[in-house]
Structure 1
Amino acid sequence: MTSGSSIAGSGHTYSSDKEEDTFLKRNRITHFVRLGLSFLSFGIGIAVITCEALPLQNYKNTSQWATAGLALWPLNFDIRPTIAAISCGGIITLLSMVYIIVALLPSPYSLIKPLNIYASVSALAGFATALISVLFIIYRPSSDYPAGFNENETLHSWTCKWKTGTSGISSPSHFDRDCTSTRAAFVLLCVLVGMEALMGIVGVVGIWFQRDVSRRRIGQSQLTQLDFATKDTKDGYRN
């Protein structure tokens, strides 16, 4: 009877070790996927900032020419979409950088649970930020423009109008570049929406793996305690 109990206990231990190995393999996969997505989000966030910062700098430099009678920008100009894109890129870059630093720093403690939680929360924040930025750039709520205009012009719309103008007038300096840069920034923002959504999914999967193995650990602990209690009872009867 005692040997039978020992065999049962050995079977539980083997099953537990196998489950732990499976959990560690799954966690390793989700860890590298999240780390890869974080590096990509970090790079894309920097690219968004760069693509929008150069046209913004050109606008700031040339908008001063209006005082000398050389106005390049219309009265119904709206700079808010550019600010929104730069802000979004900065937020996602910061969130991704924090995850990369925490994930790569050596630690004497297990960071599986904290990283799962942070990945999910930061992905939710990044997804909301990118989605709001994209929608704001498209719809531009609370947009205000002078009388006589039906809509506002943005850095993208205005520079691209000069690039594809109907007249034979050549476009001002850097307008071609600014049109391409702002278009690229918007496309990258749309990519960030998808990447942050994917990051959130992987984070939720990691949390699910963590909770699943925790439940199995509790069950295994209860089985082990039951085995010991059964063995002690039989030893007591034997004595």
Structure 2
Amino acid sequence: MRTRSLLALAGTVTALTVAAAVPASADGSAVLTTGGVGGTAVAVGDTLTAPLAGGTTATLYSSATGTSGVSCTSSQFTATVTGNPAAPGAASESVTGHSFDPSSCTSNVVGVLGVSSITVDNLPYTASVASDGTLTVSPAAGSTVQTTVKLRTLLGSVTCVYRAPSLTGKAGNADNSISFTSQQFTKVSGSSLCFANGYFTAKYAPVTDGGAPVFVN
């Protein structure tokens, strides 16, 4: 019987779309603030964290419009602010952590029994958050954004490795979120159970700085 491939990640890192629009920049404020739009500037060196938005999943599907692949209900990212200029502009971050709890992950791919692990490789990544909410995640020079997915299958353990040159997402102030929609990864190694391409969708919220929600200006 012909089996389909699989993938997951991320984040990583989702059939969700950010509905929240980022309001016009508050001139004179920093790009990233707490306490509201035009609030207190997030300090360089602060650590930002965010879990998956409540009731959502992070998915890595075999096509941009399909529903075959891996889905996780627990994931989190961590980033350190490296630059936060006045708005309008772009803040910079170093993404130091992006994890997935494999016990929260399932797969509907024929021949796959479960997910052993999902690892985001080649960290840290560089992230840029513009005043219009555009989020760009890039690897270090000479590297790639990479995710390794280990699966339990009828044929034993299978390792799938996926890469992307960068990721593009969106920040929303209505729920202090960041979202990725159908970000394409290409398989670089793995068996026929691994998709040739993986499309990552996920929504993380709220993004917080020491527990305080973060806004984009």
Length-normalised TM-score, structure 2: 0.21
Say which one has the larger Rg.
1
Structure 1 or 2: more helix by fraction: 1
Length-normalised TM-score, structure 1: 0.20
